[in-house]
Amino acid sequence: MKSKILPALGAGVVALATVIAGAAVGDLPGAAATCHRSVAIDPQVTVSEGAGTLTFTVYTASCAAAGSVAYSVTDGTARRPGDYQLANGVLQWSAGDTGSRQVRAAVAGDGLAEALLEDFTVTLNNPSQFVRVVSPVGRGRLFDDDTQLRAATVDDRLCLLEPRTSPPPPPSPLPSPSAKPDPDPGAGTTATPCTVESGNIMPTPFGVNTALATDQTVRFQTFDGDLVAGLDYVAVDRTVTVPAGATTVIVPIQLLPRAFTQNGKHFNIVISSYSAGQVVSGSARVTVWR
C-alpha cells in the first residue's frame, strides 16, 4: 500500500507546483494570461442631419495589451446610402496604446421631412484574445432638421473606469456648462471618458435638432438608479442654456469615489421644458463600467 501512495503523492505535488507556477506567472505585471484590455462604445450618439458626421468613440481601459475588435453596422430606420454611409471595419491597438478610437459615419442632409429620430447600430464583435468587450452596442441617431418642429433629446452615456489601487483624487468644483457646441465630446480623449477632467467630471451632452439665432433653455435633472446621488455622483437639477447657433451642450456631472467601486450600474438623466419646442426621447441612462 505504501508503495502506491508515494508515487501518487509525488504526482500530486508536481501538479500543484505546476498550478502555482502558472499562477505566479499570471500575476506578473504585464503577463498576458491576466491582462485583458476593456473596450466599450458610446451607447448612443445623436446629431442633427446637418452635422455631416456622426462619431462614435470606442473607449479603452484596464490593460494596454495589443489587440483588436471588429465592428459591424446595421441599418434601422436610418438606411444606407440615403441617410448615412458607414462600412464595417476593425479597430486596433498596439501594446501600450491607451488611446480611444473613433468610428465615423457620413450623414446625408437629404432635405426631406422625416421622423424626428432615425437610427442605426454599430456593434463591436470578434475581439482578439486579450480584448474584453464590456459595452458592445452603439446606436446612432439622426435628428431631422428638415421640419418645422424644434426638438431636444438626450443620449445614454457610459463611463469606462480604470481600475484603481488607491482612492480617486478629491473632487474639484463643478465647471459651468459649456457655452460652445461640441458635436464630438469624446474626440481626443484617452483611456476613460469620465476621468479626463479634474475632479472626476463626466461630460454629458444633450442636443437639439436645429441651431437657432437666439438662446434656448432646457431643464436638466439627474435621478437615482442603482447609483445614488450623494454617494456615487453629485445630483444636477438646473436650467441649462443652449447658446445661439449651437446644437449640442455639455453638462458636467461629477462622480464620487464610491462610483469607482461599481460595475454595470447606472443613474438617470431627464430633460424637459425645452423653451423652443418639444422634447423627444428625453430620458437616458449613465452607466459605469470597469
Q: Would you give per-residue pLDDT tens digits along the chain (290 residues)?
A: 444 444 443 444 334 333 333 333 333 444 444 688 999 999 999 998 888 999 999 999 888 999 999 999 999 999 999 999 999 999 999 999 989 999 999 998 766 667 889 999 999 999 999 999 999 999 999 998 878 899 999 999 998 876 554 444 454 444 444 433 333 333 223 334 554 456 788 889 999 998 999 999 999 999 999 999 999 999 999 999 999 999 999 999 999 988 888 889 999 999 999 999 999 999 999 999 87
Which of 48, 231, 215, 65 lies closest to 147 in space, CA to CA?
48
Determine the distance from the C-alpha atom of residue 171 to the mean position of all C-alpha atoms in its chain, rounded to a whole number.
21
Q: How far is CA 137 from CA 16, 130, 253, 255, 289, in A?
A: 42, 19, 23, 24, 14
Instruction: Report how far residue 107's alpha carbon sits from residue 96's, in angstroms, rounded to the nearest whole number.
Output: 33
Q: Given CA atoms 144, 145, 150, 154 in this order, what sign does their dihedral have?
A: positive
Provide the strand spans (E) within the chain. 37-41, 44-48, 53-62, 67-75, 84-85, 89-93, 101-107, 117-125, 131-135, 137-143, 151-154, 157-160, 201-208, 216-223, 237-242, 248-254, 265-272, 278-279, 283-289
Instruction: Report how far residue 74's alpha carbon sits from residue 80's, in angstroms, rounded to the nearest whole number.
Output: 9
Confidence at residue 34, expressed as pLDDT on a 0 to 100 scale? 65
Instruction: Report how far residue 154's alpha carbon sits from residue 227's, in angstroms, rounded to the nearest whole number.
Output: 19
Burial of 30 per CB tally in 10 Å (0-12, 13-18, 19+): exposed
Q: Given CA atoms 222, 227, 228, 231 in this order, what sign does their dihedral have?
A: negative
Confidence at residue 22, expressed as pLDDT on a 0 to 100 scale? 36
Nine-digit cell string for 239: 436650467
Q: Do the beta carbons of residue 266 and residue 284 sit within 8 Å?
A: no
Can you tell me whether residue 262 is helix, strand or coil? coil
Can you tell me whether residue 48 is helix, strand or coil? strand
Confidence at residue 287, expressed as pLDDT on a 0 to 100 scale? 93
Confidence at residue 262, expressed as pLDDT on a 0 to 100 scale? 85
Which of 24, 32, 22 lies closest to 130 in space, CA to CA?
32
Which of 265, 161, 151, 135 lies closest to 206 in space, CA to CA?
151
Per-residue pLDDT tens for 93-109? 999 998 999 999 999 87
Lateral strand order in the sheet of 237-242: 157-160, 283-289, 265-272, 216-223, 237-242
Instruction: Report how far residue 273's alpha carbon sits from residue 280's, in angstroms, rounded to the nearest whole number.
Output: 11
Nine-digit cell string for 98: 491607451
Q: Do the beta carbons of residue 155 and residue 284 sit within 8 Å?
A: yes
Instruction: Report how far residue 222's alpha carbon sits from residue 230's, in angstroms, rounded to the nearest whole number.
Output: 12
